[in-house]
Structure 1
Amino acid sequence: MTEALTPQAWQAIWLTLKLALITSLLLMVVATPLAWVLSNWQHKTKPFVLSILALPLVLPPTVLGFYLLVAFSPQSTLGGAWVSITGHPLAFSFEGLVLGSLIYSLPFALQPLYSGFTQLDRRYLEVAQTLGLTSFQRFFKVVLPLCKAPAIVAFGLSFAHTVGEFGVVLMIGGNIPGETQVLSIALYEQVEALQYQDAHALSLCLLIFSFLLLTGLYRFSGKGALGWNLASR
Protein backbone atom coordinates (compact mmCIF):
# COMPACT_ATOMS: atom_id res chain seq x y z
CA MET A 1 0.00 0.00 0.00
CA THR A 2 2.82 2.40 0.87
CA GLU A 3 4.31 1.96 -2.63
CA ALA A 4 1.05 3.26 -4.11
CA LEU A 5 1.29 6.57 -2.24
CA THR A 6 2.81 9.50 -4.09
CA PRO A 7 5.12 12.08 -2.45
CA GLN A 8 2.22 14.53 -2.48
CA ALA A 9 0.06 11.96 -0.67
CA TRP A 10 2.72 11.49 2.00
CA GLN A 11 2.87 15.26 2.34
CA ALA A 12 -0.91 15.35 2.87
CA ILE A 13 -0.68 12.57 5.46
CA TRP A 14 2.03 14.43 7.41
CA LEU A 15 0.08 17.69 7.26
CA THR A 16 -3.07 15.91 8.45
CA LEU A 17 -1.33 14.28 11.41
CA LYS A 18 0.31 17.60 12.30
CA LEU A 19 -3.04 19.41 12.17
CA ALA A 20 -4.80 16.71 14.20
CA LEU A 21 -2.10 16.60 16.88
CA ILE A 22 -1.93 20.38 17.34
CA THR A 23 -5.72 20.69 17.34
CA SER A 24 -6.21 17.85 19.85
CA LEU A 25 -3.58 19.18 22.26
CA LEU A 26 -5.03 22.69 22.16
CA LEU A 27 -8.55 21.32 22.60
CA MET A 28 -7.55 19.45 25.73
CA VAL A 29 -6.20 22.69 27.18
CA VAL A 30 -9.41 24.55 26.31
CA ALA A 31 -12.08 21.88 26.76
CA THR A 32 -10.93 20.44 30.10
CA PRO A 33 -11.49 23.56 32.24
CA LEU A 34 -14.53 24.50 30.17
CA ALA A 35 -16.15 21.10 30.75
CA TRP A 36 -15.39 21.32 34.47
CA VAL A 37 -16.96 24.77 34.76
CA LEU A 38 -20.04 23.65 32.83
CA SER A 39 -20.44 20.50 34.94
CA ASN A 40 -20.60 22.64 38.08
CA TRP A 41 -22.62 25.50 36.63
CA GLN A 42 -26.37 25.58 37.21
CA HIS A 43 -28.32 28.31 35.45
CA LYS A 44 -31.45 28.54 33.34
CA THR A 45 -29.34 29.57 30.33
CA LYS A 46 -27.16 26.44 30.56
CA PRO A 47 -29.10 24.48 27.85
CA PHE A 48 -28.67 27.48 25.54
CA VAL A 49 -24.91 27.58 26.13
CA LEU A 50 -24.56 23.82 25.69
CA SER A 51 -26.53 24.01 22.44
CA ILE A 52 -24.18 26.65 21.05
CA LEU A 53 -21.11 24.59 21.95
CA ALA A 54 -22.64 21.44 20.41
CA LEU A 55 -23.72 23.12 17.16
CA PRO A 56 -20.83 21.63 15.10
CA LEU A 57 -22.27 18.17 15.80
CA VAL A 58 -25.37 18.88 13.70
CA LEU A 59 -24.48 21.95 11.63
CA PRO A 60 -23.48 21.18 8.02
CA PRO A 61 -19.70 21.65 7.79
CA THR A 62 -20.04 23.92 4.76
CA VAL A 63 -22.26 26.30 6.75
CA LEU A 64 -19.75 26.54 9.56
CA GLY A 65 -16.94 26.78 7.01
CA PHE A 66 -18.65 29.67 5.23
CA TYR A 67 -19.02 31.73 8.40
CA LEU A 68 -15.44 30.95 9.40
CA LEU A 69 -14.28 32.03 5.94
CA VAL A 70 -16.08 35.35 6.40
CA ALA A 71 -14.58 35.74 9.88
CA PHE A 72 -11.08 34.95 8.58
CA SER A 73 -11.23 37.39 5.65
CA PRO A 74 -8.94 40.47 5.81
CA GLN A 75 -12.04 42.68 5.86
CA SER A 76 -13.20 41.23 9.22
CA THR A 77 -11.91 42.29 12.63
CA LEU A 78 -10.23 38.95 13.31
CA GLY A 79 -8.83 38.53 9.82
CA GLY A 80 -7.65 42.12 9.63
CA ALA A 81 -5.89 41.87 12.99
CA TRP A 82 -4.19 38.66 11.88
CA VAL A 83 -2.91 40.29 8.66
CA SER A 84 -1.56 43.28 10.56
CA ILE A 85 0.31 40.99 13.01
CA THR A 86 1.59 38.26 10.68
CA GLY A 87 1.53 39.89 7.26
CA HIS A 88 -0.53 37.13 5.63
CA PRO A 89 -4.26 36.27 5.65
CA LEU A 90 -5.75 33.79 8.09
CA ALA A 91 -7.91 32.15 5.43
CA PHE A 92 -6.17 29.59 3.21
CA SER A 93 -3.36 29.10 5.73
CA PHE A 94 -2.38 26.31 8.11
CA GLU A 95 -3.07 28.58 11.08
CA GLY A 96 -6.59 29.10 9.76
CA LEU A 97 -7.04 25.33 9.56
CA VAL A 98 -5.98 24.98 13.18
CA LEU A 99 -8.40 27.66 14.37
CA GLY A 100 -11.25 26.25 12.28
CA SER A 101 -10.52 22.72 13.51
CA LEU A 102 -10.59 23.91 17.11
CA ILE A 103 -14.10 25.23 16.63
CA TYR A 104 -15.36 22.30 14.56
CA SER A 105 -13.91 19.57 16.80
CA LEU A 106 -14.65 21.24 20.15
CA PRO A 107 -17.78 19.15 20.94
CA PHE A 108 -15.83 15.92 20.44
CA ALA A 109 -13.42 16.94 23.19
CA LEU A 110 -15.94 18.73 25.38
CA GLN A 111 -18.69 16.13 25.62
CA PRO A 112 -16.77 13.10 26.97
CA LEU A 113 -15.06 15.36 29.51
CA TYR A 114 -18.37 16.92 30.51
CA SER A 115 -19.95 13.49 30.84
CA GLY A 116 -17.05 12.22 32.96
CA PHE A 117 -17.11 15.24 35.25
CA THR A 118 -20.88 15.09 35.81
CA GLN A 119 -20.66 11.38 36.71
CA LEU A 120 -17.81 11.91 39.15
CA ASP A 121 -18.59 10.92 42.75
CA ARG A 122 -18.43 14.24 44.60
CA ARG A 123 -17.60 12.51 47.87
CA TYR A 124 -13.98 12.31 46.71
CA LEU A 125 -13.91 16.09 46.47
CA GLU A 126 -15.50 16.47 49.89
CA VAL A 127 -12.85 14.25 51.45
CA ALA A 128 -10.09 16.18 49.65
CA GLN A 129 -11.54 19.43 50.94
CA THR A 130 -11.51 18.19 54.51
CA LEU A 131 -7.82 17.36 54.02
CA GLY A 132 -7.14 21.00 53.22
CA LEU A 133 -6.68 20.79 49.45
CA THR A 134 -7.48 23.95 47.51
CA SER A 135 -9.89 23.94 44.56
CA PHE A 136 -6.98 23.80 42.10
CA GLN A 137 -5.32 20.96 44.01
CA ARG A 138 -8.60 19.03 44.12
CA PHE A 139 -8.98 19.45 40.37
CA PHE A 140 -5.47 18.33 39.43
CA LYS A 141 -4.94 15.68 42.14
CA VAL A 142 -8.44 14.21 42.38
CA VAL A 143 -10.66 15.10 39.41
CA LEU A 144 -8.21 14.59 36.55
CA PRO A 145 -6.82 11.22 37.76
CA LEU A 146 -10.35 9.89 38.29
CA CYS A 147 -11.45 11.12 34.85
CA LYS A 148 -8.45 9.81 32.93
CA ALA A 149 -10.57 7.59 30.68
CA PRO A 150 -12.91 10.39 29.47
CA ALA A 151 -9.84 12.57 28.86
CA ILE A 152 -8.20 9.94 26.66
CA VAL A 153 -11.47 9.42 24.79
CA ALA A 154 -11.76 13.18 24.30
CA PHE A 155 -8.26 13.38 22.85
CA GLY A 156 -8.79 10.35 20.61
CA LEU A 157 -12.11 11.54 19.22
CA SER A 158 -10.75 15.04 18.64
CA PHE A 159 -7.78 13.60 16.77
CA ALA A 160 -9.92 11.27 14.66
CA HIS A 161 -12.50 13.95 13.87
CA THR A 162 -9.81 16.40 12.77
CA VAL A 163 -8.23 13.77 10.52
CA GLY A 164 -11.60 13.20 8.84
CA GLU A 165 -12.53 16.85 8.33
CA PHE A 166 -13.48 17.84 4.80
CA GLY A 167 -16.15 20.52 4.43
CA VAL A 168 -14.74 23.04 6.89
CA VAL A 169 -11.17 22.45 5.71
CA LEU A 170 -12.13 22.90 2.07
CA MET A 171 -14.03 26.12 2.77
CA ILE A 172 -11.37 27.88 4.84
CA GLY A 173 -8.21 26.21 3.53
CA GLY A 174 -8.81 25.35 -0.08
CA ASN A 175 -6.42 22.88 -1.67
CA ILE A 176 -2.85 24.15 -1.37
CA PRO A 177 -0.30 21.30 -1.37
CA GLY A 178 2.01 21.47 1.61
CA GLU A 179 -0.05 24.19 3.27
CA THR A 180 -3.73 23.22 3.48
CA GLN A 181 -4.08 20.01 1.44
CA VAL A 182 -4.94 17.47 4.13
CA LEU A 183 -5.71 13.81 3.52
CA SER A 184 -9.44 14.19 2.92
CA ILE A 185 -8.85 16.97 0.37
CA ALA A 186 -6.14 14.94 -1.38
CA LEU A 187 -8.55 12.01 -1.62
CA TYR A 188 -11.23 14.24 -3.15
CA GLU A 189 -8.70 15.56 -5.67
CA GLN A 190 -7.71 12.04 -6.73
CA VAL A 191 -11.35 11.05 -7.25
CA GLU A 192 -11.98 14.20 -9.32
CA ALA A 193 -8.97 13.34 -11.47
CA LEU A 194 -10.25 9.74 -11.86
CA GLN A 195 -7.08 8.45 -10.18
CA TYR A 196 -8.91 5.64 -8.46
CA GLN A 197 -5.83 3.62 -7.54
CA ASP A 198 -4.38 6.55 -5.61
CA ALA A 199 -7.80 7.31 -4.13
CA HIS A 200 -8.10 3.70 -2.99
CA ALA A 201 -4.72 3.87 -1.23
CA LEU A 202 -5.68 7.07 0.61
CA SER A 203 -9.10 5.70 1.52
CA LEU A 204 -7.55 2.51 2.87
CA CYS A 205 -5.21 4.57 5.05
CA LEU A 206 -8.17 6.47 6.52
CA LEU A 207 -10.21 3.30 6.97
CA ILE A 208 -7.46 1.41 8.78
CA PHE A 209 -6.60 4.40 10.96
CA SER A 210 -10.23 4.99 11.96
CA PHE A 211 -10.84 1.32 12.75
CA LEU A 212 -7.70 0.94 14.86
CA LEU A 213 -8.31 4.16 16.77
CA LEU A 214 -11.94 3.35 17.57
CA THR A 215 -11.02 -0.19 18.57
CA GLY A 216 -8.39 1.14 20.94
CA LEU A 217 -10.77 3.67 22.45
CA TYR A 218 -13.51 1.08 22.94
CA ARG A 219 -11.08 -1.35 24.59
CA PHE A 220 -9.81 1.37 26.89
CA SER A 221 -13.08 3.02 27.87
CA GLY A 222 -15.56 0.17 27.51
CA LYS A 223 -18.92 1.86 27.42
CA GLY A 224 -19.59 5.34 28.66
CA ALA A 225 -18.06 8.50 27.30
CA LEU A 226 -17.21 7.05 23.90
CA GLY A 227 -20.63 5.52 23.33
CA TRP A 228 -22.30 8.74 24.48
CA ASN A 229 -20.32 10.74 21.95
CA LEU A 230 -20.97 8.42 19.04
CA ALA A 231 -24.67 8.43 19.83
CA SER A 232 -24.63 12.23 19.82
CA ARG A 233 -23.05 12.30 16.41
Structure 2
Amino acid sequence: MDYTPFFITFKLALLTTMILFNIAIPLAYFLAFTKLKIKVLLESLVMLPIVLPPTVLGFYFLIYLGPNSVIGAFFEKTFGLSFAFTFEGILLGAVIFCLPFMVTPIMTGFRSIPKNTIEATKILNKTKWNALIYVFLPTIKKSIMNGILLTFAHTIGAFGIILMIGGKMADTNVAAVAIYDEMNKMNYDAVHTYALVLLFVSFVAILLLNIFAKPKNSDIAPY
Protein backbone atom coordinates (compact mmCIF):
# COMPACT_ATOMS: atom_id res chain seq x y z
CA MET A 1 0.00 0.00 0.00
CA ASP A 2 1.21 3.50 -0.86
CA TYR A 3 1.36 5.88 2.10
CA THR A 4 2.32 8.88 -0.04
CA PRO A 5 -1.28 10.20 -0.12
CA PHE A 6 -1.13 10.66 3.67
CA PHE A 7 2.06 12.70 3.37
CA ILE A 8 0.53 14.88 0.64
CA THR A 9 -2.71 15.27 2.61
CA PHE A 10 -1.08 16.41 5.85
CA LYS A 11 1.40 18.61 3.99
CA LEU A 12 -1.51 20.28 2.19
CA ALA A 13 -3.52 20.69 5.41
CA LEU A 14 -0.56 22.13 7.33
CA LEU A 15 0.43 24.64 4.64
CA THR A 16 -3.19 25.67 4.04
CA THR A 17 -3.71 26.28 7.75
CA MET A 18 -0.50 28.29 8.07
CA ILE A 19 -1.29 30.47 5.06
CA LEU A 20 -4.89 31.06 6.09
CA PHE A 21 -3.90 31.91 9.66
CA ASN A 22 -1.83 34.83 8.37
CA ILE A 23 -4.58 35.91 5.97
CA ALA A 24 -7.52 35.47 8.35
CA ILE A 25 -6.26 37.57 11.27
CA PRO A 26 -6.17 40.93 9.42
CA LEU A 27 -9.19 40.02 7.25
CA ALA A 28 -11.34 38.99 10.22
CA TYR A 29 -10.24 42.08 12.15
CA PHE A 30 -11.26 44.29 9.24
CA LEU A 31 -14.63 42.59 8.76
CA ALA A 32 -15.37 42.68 12.49
CA PHE A 33 -14.62 46.36 13.07
CA THR A 34 -14.97 48.20 9.77
CA LYS A 35 -17.91 50.54 9.28
CA LEU A 36 -17.70 50.55 5.49
CA LYS A 37 -20.98 49.85 3.72
CA ILE A 38 -19.36 47.22 1.50
CA LYS A 39 -18.68 45.06 4.57
CA VAL A 40 -21.72 42.88 3.87
CA LEU A 41 -20.58 42.31 0.28
CA LEU A 42 -17.03 41.43 1.33
CA GLU A 43 -18.25 39.11 4.06
CA SER A 44 -20.57 37.39 1.59
CA LEU A 45 -17.68 36.82 -0.81
CA VAL A 46 -15.57 35.31 1.97
CA MET A 47 -18.43 32.97 2.97
CA LEU A 48 -19.24 31.93 -0.62
CA PRO A 49 -17.10 28.73 -0.64
CA ILE A 50 -19.29 27.31 2.15
CA VAL A 51 -22.35 27.06 -0.12
CA LEU A 52 -20.67 26.92 -3.52
CA PRO A 53 -20.23 23.35 -4.87
CA PRO A 54 -16.51 22.44 -4.94
CA THR A 55 -16.80 21.43 -8.59
CA VAL A 56 -18.04 24.92 -9.51
CA LEU A 57 -15.17 26.52 -7.62
CA GLY A 58 -12.71 24.12 -9.26
CA PHE A 59 -14.12 24.82 -12.70
CA TYR A 60 -13.73 28.59 -12.42
CA PHE A 61 -10.32 28.11 -10.85
CA LEU A 62 -9.14 26.28 -13.97
CA ILE A 63 -10.83 28.80 -16.26
CA TYR A 64 -9.14 31.84 -14.71
CA LEU A 65 -5.89 30.30 -13.44
CA GLY A 66 -5.38 27.42 -15.87
CA PRO A 67 -2.59 27.41 -18.51
CA ASN A 68 -4.94 28.82 -21.17
CA SER A 69 -5.94 31.83 -19.06
CA VAL A 70 -4.18 35.19 -19.05
CA ILE A 71 -3.28 34.93 -15.36
CA GLY A 72 -2.22 31.31 -15.58
CA ALA A 73 -0.08 31.93 -18.66
CA PHE A 74 1.58 34.91 -16.96
CA PHE A 75 2.59 32.92 -13.87
CA GLU A 76 3.80 29.99 -15.97
CA LYS A 77 5.86 32.19 -18.28
CA THR A 78 7.21 34.55 -15.61
CA PHE A 79 7.69 32.26 -12.62
CA GLY A 80 7.44 28.80 -14.16
CA LEU A 81 4.47 28.18 -11.89
CA SER A 82 1.44 26.21 -13.04
CA PHE A 83 -1.82 26.02 -11.08
CA ALA A 84 -3.36 23.11 -13.00
CA PHE A 85 -2.60 19.54 -11.90
CA THR A 86 0.16 20.61 -9.51
CA PHE A 87 0.58 20.72 -5.74
CA GLU A 88 0.79 24.52 -5.90
CA GLY A 89 -2.58 24.51 -7.63
CA ILE A 90 -4.36 22.38 -5.05
CA LEU A 91 -2.74 24.45 -2.29
CA LEU A 92 -4.15 27.67 -3.73
CA GLY A 93 -7.49 25.96 -4.28
CA ALA A 94 -7.55 24.70 -0.68
CA VAL A 95 -6.74 28.20 0.61
CA ILE A 96 -9.70 29.65 -1.29
CA PHE A 97 -12.00 26.76 -0.39
CA CYS A 98 -11.18 26.79 3.35
CA LEU A 99 -11.00 30.57 3.81
CA PRO A 100 -14.39 30.92 5.56
CA PHE A 101 -13.56 28.11 8.00
CA MET A 102 -10.63 30.11 9.34
CA VAL A 103 -12.13 33.60 9.05
CA THR A 104 -15.57 32.94 10.57
CA PRO A 105 -14.52 31.76 14.06
CA ILE A 106 -11.89 34.50 14.36
CA MET A 107 -14.30 37.19 13.15
CA THR A 108 -16.89 35.95 15.65
CA GLY A 109 -14.25 36.10 18.35
CA PHE A 110 -13.39 39.71 17.53
CA ARG A 111 -17.07 40.65 17.60
CA SER A 112 -17.50 39.01 21.02
CA ILE A 113 -14.79 41.13 22.66
CA PRO A 114 -16.48 43.20 25.41
CA LYS A 115 -16.97 46.83 24.50
CA ASN A 116 -15.27 47.99 27.70
CA THR A 117 -12.13 46.07 26.70
CA ILE A 118 -12.03 47.88 23.37
CA GLU A 119 -12.64 51.24 25.06
CA ALA A 120 -9.87 50.52 27.57
CA THR A 121 -7.31 50.16 24.76
CA LYS A 122 -8.34 53.58 23.48
CA ILE A 123 -8.10 55.18 26.91
CA LEU A 124 -4.60 53.73 27.35
CA ASN A 125 -3.67 55.19 23.95
CA LYS A 126 -2.67 51.82 22.56
CA THR A 127 -2.12 51.70 18.82
CA LYS A 128 -4.34 49.39 16.82
CA TRP A 129 -1.37 47.08 16.31
CA ASN A 130 -0.58 46.88 20.04
CA ALA A 131 -4.24 46.41 20.89
CA LEU A 132 -4.48 43.57 18.36
CA ILE A 133 -1.33 41.75 19.45
CA TYR A 134 -1.43 42.23 23.22
CA VAL A 135 -5.15 42.49 23.98
CA PHE A 136 -7.49 41.22 21.26
CA LEU A 137 -5.65 38.08 20.10
CA PRO A 138 -5.07 36.72 23.64
CA THR A 139 -8.75 37.40 24.37
CA ILE A 140 -9.96 35.35 21.38
CA LYS A 141 -7.40 32.54 21.55
CA LYS A 142 -10.18 29.91 21.70
CA SER A 143 -11.72 31.29 18.52
CA ILE A 144 -8.31 31.21 16.84
CA MET A 145 -7.79 27.59 17.88
CA ASN A 146 -11.25 26.70 16.56
CA GLY A 147 -10.39 28.29 13.22
CA ILE A 148 -7.11 26.38 13.03
CA LEU A 149 -8.74 23.03 13.83
CA LEU A 150 -11.67 23.59 11.46
CA THR A 151 -9.36 24.58 8.61
CA PHE A 152 -6.99 21.67 9.15
CA ALA A 153 -9.82 19.12 9.36
CA HIS A 154 -11.71 20.57 6.41
CA THR A 155 -8.59 20.52 4.23
CA ILE A 156 -7.94 16.88 5.07
CA GLY A 157 -11.47 15.99 3.97
CA ALA A 158 -11.44 18.09 0.78
CA PHE A 159 -12.20 16.00 -2.30
CA GLY A 160 -14.14 17.65 -5.12
CA ILE A 161 -12.01 20.75 -5.57
CA ILE A 162 -8.76 18.77 -5.21
CA LEU A 163 -9.86 16.29 -7.86
CA MET A 164 -10.95 19.09 -10.19
CA ILE A 165 -7.74 21.11 -9.86
CA GLY A 166 -5.16 18.40 -9.25
CA GLY A 167 -6.60 15.29 -10.86
CA LYS A 168 -4.80 12.12 -9.73
CA MET A 169 -1.22 13.17 -10.38
CA ALA A 170 1.61 11.93 -8.17
CA ASP A 171 1.93 15.31 -6.40
CA THR A 172 -1.81 15.86 -5.95
CA ASN A 173 -3.07 12.43 -4.95
CA VAL A 174 -4.39 13.19 -1.46
CA ALA A 175 -5.96 10.51 0.73
CA ALA A 176 -9.56 11.47 -0.14
CA VAL A 177 -8.81 11.11 -3.86
CA ALA A 178 -6.89 7.89 -3.19
CA ILE A 179 -10.01 6.44 -1.54
CA TYR A 180 -12.05 7.25 -4.64
CA ASP A 181 -9.40 5.71 -6.89
CA GLU A 182 -9.03 2.54 -4.81
CA MET A 183 -12.81 2.13 -4.66
CA ASN A 184 -12.92 2.12 -8.45
CA LYS A 185 -10.25 -0.59 -8.38
CA MET A 186 -12.23 -2.50 -5.71
CA ASN A 187 -9.15 -2.50 -3.49
CA TYR A 188 -11.13 -2.40 -0.26
CA ASP A 189 -8.19 -3.10 2.06
CA ALA A 190 -6.49 0.10 0.94
CA VAL A 191 -9.80 1.98 1.19
CA HIS A 192 -10.25 0.82 4.79
CA THR A 193 -6.75 1.98 5.72
CA TYR A 194 -7.16 5.43 4.15
CA ALA A 195 -10.66 5.82 5.57
CA LEU A 196 -9.74 4.77 9.12
CA VAL A 197 -6.85 7.24 9.29
CA LEU A 198 -9.05 10.09 8.04
CA LEU A 199 -11.82 9.05 10.42
CA PHE A 200 -9.40 9.07 13.36
CA VAL A 201 -7.94 12.48 12.47
CA SER A 202 -11.41 13.95 11.95
CA PHE A 203 -12.60 12.60 15.30
CA VAL A 204 -9.57 14.04 17.11
CA ALA A 205 -10.17 17.43 15.47
CA ILE A 206 -13.85 17.44 16.55
CA LEU A 207 -12.87 16.30 20.05
CA LEU A 208 -10.39 19.14 20.38
CA LEU A 209 -12.97 21.61 19.07
CA ASN A 210 -15.40 20.52 21.77
CA ILE A 211 -12.70 20.72 24.44
CA PHE A 212 -11.71 24.25 23.47
CA ALA A 213 -15.35 25.32 23.13
CA LYS A 214 -16.20 24.17 26.64
CA PRO A 215 -16.15 27.06 29.16
CA LYS A 216 -13.72 26.71 32.05
CA ASN A 217 -16.27 27.65 34.70
CA SER A 218 -19.83 26.82 33.80
CA ASP A 219 -22.59 28.62 35.68
CA ILE A 220 -25.06 25.93 34.70
CA ALA A 221 -25.82 23.59 37.54
CA PRO A 222 -25.68 19.87 36.71
CA TYR A 223 -29.09 18.44 35.96
Aligned to 1:215: 207
Give 1:157 shift: 0.5
**TM-score when scaled to structure 1?**
0.89
Q: Which residue of 2 aligns with 1:109?
A: 102
Instruction: State the match for 1:126 in structure 2.
Output: 119
Partners of 1:82 and 1:95 in 2: how far apart?
12
User: In structure 1, what is the equivalent of residue 57 of structure 2?
Assistant: 64
1:71-82 alignment to 2 at 5 Å? 71-82=64-75
Report deviation, 1:204.
0.9
Q: Does 2:142 correspond to 1:149? A: yes
Distance 2:43 2:75 in 1: 29
- Which residue, 37, 41, 60 being the options, matches 2:34? 41
Deviation at residue 88 of structure 1 after TM alignment? 4.7
- Could you list the runs of 5+ residues in structure 2 that have no partner in the other structure? 216-223
Q: 1:192 aligns with which of 180, 184, 201?
A: 184
Could you tell me how far apart the structure 2 residues matched to 1:28 and 1:87 are? 27
Shift of 1:154: 0.4
Please state how far the C-alpha of 1:12 moved relative to its aligned partner. Answer: 0.5
Match of 2:129 in 1: 136
Give distance in 2, aligned partners of 1:143 and 1:43. 21
* Residue identity opposite 2:189 in structure 1: Q
Please list, as runs of the form range in 1=range in 2, the aligned pairs for 1:154-173 lying within 5 A after superposition: 154-173=147-166
Match of 1:229 in 2: none
Q: Judging changes above 3 Å, is the alpha-carbon distance between structure 1 residues 132 and 46 closer, same or farther for their aligned structure 2 residues?
A: closer
- Measured after TM superposition, the shift of residue 217 of structure 1 is 1.2
State the Cα distance separating 1:77 from its structure 2 match: 2.5
Of all paired residues, the percent bearing the same amino acid is: 37
Q: Is 1:174–2:167 an aligned residue pair? A: yes
- Post-superposition Cα deviations, 1:40-73, rounded to whole Å, max 9, x if no partner, equal 1234432222211111111111000100111221
Q: How many aligned residue pairs are there?
A: 215
How far has the Cα of 1:123 moved from its partner? Answer: 1.5
The Cα offsets for residues 19-57 of structure 1, whole Å up to 9 and x where unpaired, read as 000000100100111010001123443222221111111
Q: Which has the higher contact order (CA 8 A, sep 6+)?
A: 1
Structure 1 CA distance for aligned equivalents of residues 79 and 4 of structure 2: 25
Alignment correspondent of 2:21: 28
Aligned partner of 1:123: which letter? N
1:228 is aligned to none
Paired letter, 1:222: K
Conserved? CA contact 2:82–2:88, under 8 Å: no
Using a 3 Å threshold, how does the CA distance of structure 1 residues 44 and 134 change in structure 2: closer, same or farther?
closer
The two structures have a TM-score, normalised by structure 2, of 0.92
Instruction: For 2:187, give the aligned amino acid.
Output: Q
